[in-house]
Structure 1
Amino acid sequence: MGNTSPKPSNLSQSSVDGVYIQRGEDLCQNLNSSLSGRSFASVSSHQSTYSVSRPWSRVSRRRWKESTLTLPYESSKTAWPVSQTESFFLPEFPLLTNNKENKFENLGEINKGAFGKVYKVKDEKGDVYALKVLSKSKIIKENAVRQVKDEVQIQRVCGHHPYIVDCPFHWQSKKRLYIVSEYVAGGELYNLLKTYAVLPVALVKIYIAQLALALDFLHNAGIIYRDLKPENILLDANGNVQLIDFGLSKWLSYGKTTRTICGTLLYMAPEILAHLEYGHSVDWWSLGVIACLMLTGKYPSTEADSADEPETRRVRLPQHELEVPARDLLLRLLQFEPTKRLRSLRTLQTIAFYKDFNFENVKTKKMKPLDLLPERPQEEIMEFEDFDGNYDTVL
């Protein structure tokens, strides 16, 4: 009578051990089969003590954020509860689960890139920003994780400079990266060059000085830019330049060299095209190309006789009436030999082109470049060569 269900038979110690051994072998086989494509660190990672009392799905992300996720060397010690696509971008891109992107009002698309799009957005306070939304899958597929992490880190560290766009916010979700930058309303320098065939010399002096200040700041901070071109130079409401897009920038101590072939072909220095080691002087060559565009409306010619020695090669400037100081500036910046090239702000301040020029007014933004533009643009619209030569991979 009573409970008639059969009582479980008593298991001997050996049979219990046999069950544990068998289950352990099965568990090892499952781990080996499911994690064969992961690194050894993910297989041997230490399980959190929270899993003993409750399932992984109920582990608080807030408690993990206070410990593992904020430490750069601790974030790879466990595979739970952070997925692999999230851990790739830690700690530069923090995890946010409160849908912060929904707090911005989309005001329209600004631009489109290889990994995503850029939108004009407005926050709850009414401040306007540029929001870059990048696809994680595309970044991982192109092996550009380090590139994106360096981009946001460099822009965050250097964004306080008056001629570099700041990056106040950045985070990640499960599938996307979000980078919020200051919104610059004046458009690109490229559009200004298409509207005006040639810019006034006084305006060129200001723009070259502003860009030189930004490059000098980056180089002293141990950063090489490598993609200086009019499309990456924005203009604010007063016409001052703002440097953006640090996707090809790299941490490189001053005096060191690298060999990565990247940039835009029309603005790449000869040593990059020759597959030679190069340093920060390549940014000054790109500045020379931009200066040539602003002064003449055309690109310089770098074609040279194959019999010429590298030390004796000279750039061919466009057929345009240039004063001696302006021509001297271009020849100093567009020097084939990197060691002889103008590659410092101090040297730039001493040449004839900047005689009696006040660099302090440029540093403090006391000048308004747009006031130097003529009232009406010239009828002739500048025709840039139809060329899309972006290289951002190692060859």
Structure 2
Amino acid sequence: MEIKAAVTHAQGKPFAIEHVTLSAPGPNEIRVRIVATGVCHTDAVARDLGVSPYPIVLGHEGSGVVEQIGDNVTRLAVGDHVVMSFAHCGQCENCLTGHPTVCARFNELNFGGRMEDGTCRLHQNQTELGTFFGQSSFGTHVVAHERNVVKVDKDVDLALLGPLGCGIQTGAGTVLNRLKPEFGSAIAIYGCGAVGLSAIMAARIAGCRHIFAIDVHDSRLALARELGATHTLNGAQVDVVEEIRAVTGGGAHYAVETTGVPPVVRQCLHALRPLGQAAIVGVTPEMKIDVHNDLMAEGKSMIGVIEGDSVPRVFIPQLVDYFKAGLFPFDKLVKFYRFEQINEAFEDSANGTTVKPILKFDTE
């Protein structure tokens, strides 16, 4: 079928909305009419740094309605409301033990530009277009494997839910699935974008006593306070390490580092108490740390976390339930844009005007 999609033709080029041909779903696949899709920093990285082959249709936080199912699909039916998340094989040791975020084929299936069977579902004339995260949600319709599609309640605004598939589950899952902070503990969140603010909301759900939000933008710190931060620190104005140690009597038990900025990474380690744990989720360049003094000498741990160590079919419905109960108000992070405003949405995300842009489609 013919659809409209935002095509990335070459590294660093603006998104171009063009007509594209979408193939029918194969076995174990479904076709989804996209209602909305989140704009994520990972899409910008793929556009600008060439982590996936061009030309490609990016987008990986899609939500929509199932329109067609292929052979062997058993979990989903036409008319279901769904959120799409990352692709994974479902067969490797990590997938089978509840850690699909570190699937043995993760990079291939999400960044390799092709579906699991090695073919493309998107074409433009005789040219194959790459697929991103097994979905390519910057299009009016997508074909995806049923494994990376999550059925969600129909009584929640479907346009809100796409970002649960990546950025929001990354922040919340890092806290709730991986760090699992003890009730009454102290946690520091570095960076108050969508990932960091989601971690703050999760820390409140977990019952942390001290929830530190660290950023250099006062507007984001104000939102962090509204969402559950007990202390907000502007890293450009105060000594973050001293402030955290003073309030906690020795340092935070946990840290979530979302910025990827090397001095901030070191700062998050220095502000931990002995035996503290830091989860790194930001894309960090090569950097140096003092392994002995920053980690080993005080028994600290630093771990990398991808996609919040989530099992999307379990965790995303849990986040929807928290939202419905008023405990996870992630709607306060978002601003809606028309699909045609995709380049504006990316600009607003990059300059900090909008925490989490969501593109809405008119495909009724």
Which structure carries more strand by proportion? 2
TM-score, with length taken from structure 1: 0.28
- The structure number with the bigger radius of gyration is 1
Higher RCO (Cα < 8 Å, 6 or more apart) = 2
TM-score for the superposition, normalised by structure 2? 0.29
